Amino acid sequence: MVENIVGTQELPFGLATNFRINGKDYLIPMVIEEPSVIAAASHAAKLAREAGGFWAEADESIMRGEIQVLDAGPEAEKRITEAKEELLEMANTCSQTLSKLGGGAKDIEIKRVNGMLVLHLLVDVKDAMGANTVNTMLEKISPRVQELTGGRIGFRIISNLCDLRLARARARWPKALLGEDVIQGILDGYRLAEKDIYRTVTHNKGIMNGIDAVALATGQDWRAIEAGAHGWAARNGYKPLTRYWLDEKGDLWGEIELPLAVGVVGGSIKSNPVAQIALKILGVKSAKELSSVMAAVGLAQNFAALRALAKEGIQKGHMRLHARNLAIAAGAKGEEIERIAERMVKEGKISLEYAKELLNG
Ligand code: MEV
């Protein structure tokens, strides 16, 4: 898959449980090195399940590709508009399969940015992430765009801000399960995330803990997902990707919306057997279903973090797992692991040295 390879890096692969999304139960494959994330997502899903679980949906898989045109003539916009169908047809010669599935290049938008003309090619990539298809199409039509505009072609590349390919999820957490104080704490914390960028970034990081973990498990380009998510969050000044509010009964509602360019077909997934297994466990049939699930996981992860922060703080759970890891690193085996971890947590002395001391003494 890559160059100069000398090995592979392994990360833990776990399954989050309790997820009900649009009335269907899912086991969620997550690949992540951070303790507590999978447990937290599972717990948030369990609490949401009491009120029906998550409702999620995704837009069609429309990606944008950009062609930069320098020194375009004054008639450039008009000439591109007149040749739109010709350009779309030319782009669609790049993928017969996509056209057969009803996808392919669908539209063209033109902008002037910083004295340059930028052509956006909008492509429905269906069940693929789409970068290869879009980039191939852009390179195919560029010479014709050059002729039409009388300019010079610069960059031809997909945009990772796929603002036409959004996924959304929503859930309700009953007051009876959370308690009024915790709900208030969550809403107070959320109000901080709305206005304080130092908190907003951390708030969104917690969301991406869940989304990236599913992305890694299922073989997605998680850098593209990260870039898109933060670009979307920053479109009107950097904001949280989720929103929370109370209904008339005092139950807490949460909602997430973000761009998600994911695929269930394509080269990098085909050549990655673990990703194939993850997709099989998840049981998703389309890229839209996968992105809906990922939006629900992002919301669950965020809710779990806010709930923990509003309650006991996140260190308690973290430290329990951290203590186990240290016990293992010190050489503990089997039952010793729990015994040493528990003792360290109880005494508030969590370190590798102390784990070794307990093991050897
Ligand atoms: C840690 O990986 C993620 C959190 O910091 C997220 C948050 O603060 O909302 C717990």
Q: For the chain (length 361 residues), average pLDDT per consecutive 10?
A: 92 98 98 94 96 98 98 96 98 94 97 96 97 97 98 98 98 96 97 98 98 98 98 98 97 98 90 94 97 98 97 78 91 94 91 94 77
Would the CB of 203 count as within 6 Å of ligand 1? yes
Q: Are 125 and 133 in contact (CB under 8 A)?
A: yes
Sign of CA dihedral 263, 267, 268, 273: positive
For ligand 1, atom 10, which residue shows the shortest CA distance?
305
So what's the pLDDT on residue 118?
98
Query: Encoding tokens for residue 181?
Result: 């104080």
So what's the pLDDT on residue 361?
77
Q: Where, residue-wise, is CATH 3.30.70.420 in the chain?
A: 62-158
Q: What's the CATH number for 20-59+166-313?
A: 3.90.770.10
Q: Where, residue-wise, is CATH 1.10.8 in the chain?
A: 316-360
Q: In angstroms, what is the span from residue 334 Cα to ligand 1's centroid? A: 31
pTM greater than 0.85: yes
For ligand 1, atom 6, which residue shows the shortest CA distance?
206
Backbone phi, psi, residue 234, to 5°: -100, 10
Give residue for tokens 């765009």.
145
So what's the pLDDT on residue 146?
98
So what's the pLDDT on residue 271?
86
- What is the H or E stretch that residue 133 is in? helix 131-149
Query: Encoding tokens for residue 16?
Result: 């989050």
CA angle 256, 307, 251 (to 5 degrees): 70
Q: Where, residue-wise, is CATH 3.90.770.10 in the chain?
A: 20-59+166-313
Name the residue of 36, 202, 301 to mutate for ligand 1: max ligand atoms within 8 A of Cβ.
202
Arch. (CATH architecture) of 62-158: 2-Layer Sandwich (3.30)
What class does CATH assign to 316-360?
mainly alpha
Q: How far apart are CA 249 and CA 127, in angstroms?
A: 40
| Residue 175 among the catalytic residues | no
Name the residue of 204, 207, 307, 309 to mutate for ligand 1: max ligand atoms within 8 A of Cβ.
309
